[in-house]
Amino acid sequence: MKKSMRAVATLIATASATAAIGWAAPVAHADTNDGKFLAALKSEGITDHVSPQHAIEAAHTVCQKLDAGQTPTQVANDVLNSSAMPAYQSGYFVGASIKEYCPQHMP
């Protein structure tokens, strides 16, 4: 269990850095953030969601969990355990969510 948590933590850090490099500056319009978020998921082959709106809602849930005090690793484990995404994609999903919707949680 410790090994998988460390792996997820490493993946979150890598995915967050990758997400941060992929986007230049924050954008003021929510629609643009949604578009960037969905494009980031698509670029990593993440298509495990019912709809684009479902993915966006899940991203906001990531932020709510972080706001409530969970760590990115804990949230990524929740994503991993509640979806069909493998560990890297779960970490990337959390990193992309942080980047677009709650950058105050960037590591």
pLDDT attached to residue 48: 63
Say what the pTM is. Answer: 0.73
End-to-end C-alpha distance for the chain, whole angstroms: 22
Tell the residue number behind the tokens 């706001």, with chain if given: 67
Report which of 103, 87, 86, 70 is spatially closest to residue 9, judged by C-alpha positions.
87
Domains held by the chain: number: 1
Q: Which domain holds residue 85?
A: 2-105
pLDDT mean values, one per 10 residues, the chain (107 residues): 48 47 43 92 85 94 98 97 93 97 94
- pLDDT, residue 35, reads 94
Specify the pLDDT at position 107. Answer: 83
The predicted structure's pLDDT at residue 42:
93
CB atoms within 10 A of CB 79: 24
